[in-house]
Amino acid sequence: MQALFLKAVALNYFFAFFSIFWQYDGLFGSNGILPIKEFLERFHNFKIYTLFHKDLHDRTIKATALTGALISLLILAGFHHPLLFLLLWAGHLSFINVGQDFFPVQWDSLLLEVGFITIFFSMQAPPPLLLTLSLWLLLFRVLFGSGYGKWMNGSREWRDLTALCYHYETQPLPNRVAYFMHQLPKWAGKFSTLMTYFFEIAVPFLFFLPYPFRFWGCMLSIFFQLLIFMTGNFGFFNTLTIALCIPLLDSTSFETLPDWFYGFTLLHYHSPILTAFLSAIGVGLIALQLLMIIELFIPLPFASKFKQKIEPFHILNFYEVFGLMTTFRNEVTIEGSNDNENWRAYPFRWKPGELQKAPGQVAPFHPRLDSKMWFAAFLPDMHESSWFQNLIIKLLQGSEEVLALFESNPFPKGPPKYIRARLDTYSFTDMDRLRKTGEWWVKKPRGLYCETMTLEEKIGLKDPA
C-alpha cells in the first residue's frame, strides 16, 4: 500500500510540474501574461515563500518545473527518498506563491496538503498508523466537506437535485462524454445529483469501519472519481483523490500484484526515535484534520487565526467543489482586425469556441489560461480582471510565447492593429443537430466584453498582484 501510494503521489506531481513547464513561457515568462520575474521584483520586500528569490532568469524558473517533473519520474522508476518528496513539495509551493491569478486551484492546494503529509509518510515502512489515519481524515474531509457544503451552502440547484442537469454543459472545460451526459432526461440528472450526495456524504463514513467496509468505501470513492474524470476536465484533482484512496487498503489487497508494480523497496527499519517523531507528527496532523472537520459545523475563531498563519504553506485548505452551480455558460471570444471591420477569432486549445469543435479531454493536465477564461466570462467586463488586460496587450504586441497557448495564430504575418472581445452564451446542441450539422454548440450573442482597442491606447492596467 505505502509504495503504491507514494508512486501515485509522484504521478500527480508529474502532472502538475509538466503542466507548468508546458505553459510557463506564455503565462509566467518575461513575455508572458503575468511574468514571475516582474512580480518578485515588485514585491521583493514582502515575505514570499518561494525558491526563486536568488535567480530570476526565466530559464532557471522554468527548469524548476522540468526538474520537478523529472524527480517525479525518478520516483515512478523506482528511486525513492523522503528528500525527493520534500523537493517536490517545495517546488510546487514556490510556483503557487508566485503564480498570481493562475494559482492556486483546488487541486494545487490539495497536492500541497497531500504532499506535505507524504514527506513524513515516506520516511519509514510501514508508516505509523497515525500518519495513515491522517490521510484517511484528509480524504474524508475532501469528500464529505464537498458534499456537506453543497447541501448546506450550495445554490438552489443542489437542493432541488437539478445541479447535474446543468453541470455537464456549464463546467469550465467539458469533454465529449459531458455532451452525451447532458442529453440524458432530467430524471437521470436528478438521480446523478442524488448519487453525488451518496458518494460524498455517505460513503466516506465507511473509511473508518473494519474490512471489508473500508475496502468498499475505497472502491466506491475510486469509481466516483473515475466518473468525474470521464465527464470533465478538472486537472489532476480526480487522480490525486484516487491516490488518497490507496492508504485505505491493507496489504492483502495487493497480494496478486507483481513486484514491478511497486518499483522500489522502502526503508524497512524501526528506529524508536523516528517512530516516536513520526507518530507525534501524525497526532498533530490528525488534530488539524479534526479541527477542519469541526469547522464544517461550528466556526472556531482560534482555528481561523491559526490557519491564517500557515496559509502561505497551503498545508490546511478548504475544499468545496462546485458548491455554487452555474445554470448558463458564457464564453469570451477574443478577436483581432487590421481594418476594424473584418474580425478573426483567436482559437483556444480547449475551451469552447468554434461551434463544430468537439469538446476535448485534457485532464489530468491543467490548461490554466483556458480554464481562467471560464471565470473571466462571469465578470462584468475586462476591467475587473488585470490578467485579461495583460493578455490583450500581449496579443497586440504579438508575443510568440502567449500565442503558443492558443491553438493557432490567426495573424501569422504580424499582430493585428485592433483587438476586441465578445461575450456569448453557449449551450450544447441536441443529438439531431449534431448529426445534421456537426455542431456541438449553439451560441447567442450578448454584446461586447472588451471594447475595440489598439496598442497605442492607454488601457489603465491594474496591479496584477
Q: Which residue has the cell 463544430?
A: 356
Read off φ and ψ for residue 199, nearest 5 degrees.
-70, -35
Write out the three cell numbers for 403. 500565442
SS3 344: strand
* Tens digit of each residue's pLDDT (9 = 90 or more) over 108-153: 999 999 999 999 999 998 899 999 999 999 999 999 999 999 999 8
**CB of 157 closer than 8 Å to CB of 327:** yes
* Cβ-Cβ contacts under 8 Å for 442 (sequence gap 6 or more): 355, 426, 427, 428, 429, 433
Query: Is residue 208 within 8 Å of residue 129, measured between CB atoms?
Result: no
**Shortest CA distance to 25 belongs to which of 41, 13, 36, 16?**
36
Q: Which residues of the chain have pLDDT under 50?
A: 263, 265, 268, 459-465
**382 touches 457 (CB < 8 A):** no
For the record, the C-alpha cell of 212 comes out as: 471489508
- Cα within 13 Å of Cα(433), Cβ side: 12
Cα Rg of the chain (Å, integer) = 23
**Angstrom distance (rounded) from CA 68 to CA 15:** 10
pLDDT at 259 (0 to 100): 56
Q: How far is CA 419 from CA 84, 144, 212, 341, 436, in A?
A: 46, 45, 60, 11, 34
pLDDT of 269 reads 53
- If phi > 0 it is left, if psi is from -120 to 50 it is alpha, else beta; for residue 55 that is beta
What pLDDT, on the 0 to 100 scale, is given for residue 461? Answer: 43
SS3 444: strand
Residue 26 makes CB contacts below 8 A (sequence gap 6+) with 32, 33, 369, 399, 401, 402, 403, 404, 405
323's CB contacts (< 8 A; 6+ apart) are 146, 149, 150, 153, 154, 155, 158
Dihedral sign, Cα of residue 227, residue 228, residue 234, residue 236 = negative
The DSSP secondary-structure symbol of 452 reads: E
Q: Give the C-alpha separation, 435 to 356, whole Å.
A: 11
Q: Which residue has the cell 527548469?
A: 63
**Residue 228 CB neighbour total at 10 angstroms:** 17
Per-residue pLDDT at 396: 96
Overall size of the chain counted in residues: 465
Nearest by Cα to 356 from 343, 347, 344: 347
Give pLDDT, residue 432: 97
Specify the 3-state DSSP secondary structure of 423.
Answer: strand
Model pLDDT, residue 462? 43
The pLDDT of residue 456: 87
Cα–Cα distance, 70 to 92 (Å, whole number): 13
pLDDT given at position 257: 55
Residue that has been written with the C-alpha cell 489530468 in this structure: 364
DSSP state letters, 276-302: HHHHHHHHHHHHHHHHHHHHTTS--HH
Q: How far apart, in whole angstroms, are the C-alpha atoms of residue 353 and residue 328?
A: 16
Q: Is the peptide bond before 212 cis (omega within 30 degrees of 0)?
A: yes
Sorted by sequence, the CB contacts under 8 Å of residue 447 that are 6+ apart come out as 422, 423
pTM of the model: 0.93
Q: Which long-range contacts (CB under 8 A, 24 or more apart) does 218-226 make?
A: 218/245, 218/246, 218/248, 218/249, 221/139, 221/143, 221/245, 224/199, 224/200
| Residues whose CB falls within 8 Å of the CB of residue 359, separated by 6 or more in sequence, listed in order | 173, 174, 175, 176, 178, 179, 352, 440
Q: Which amino acid is at 446?
A: R
Say how far apart CA 131 and CA 220 lie, in whole Å: 23
Distance CA 330, CA 378 (A): 7
**CB 100: neighbour CB atoms within 10 A?**
17
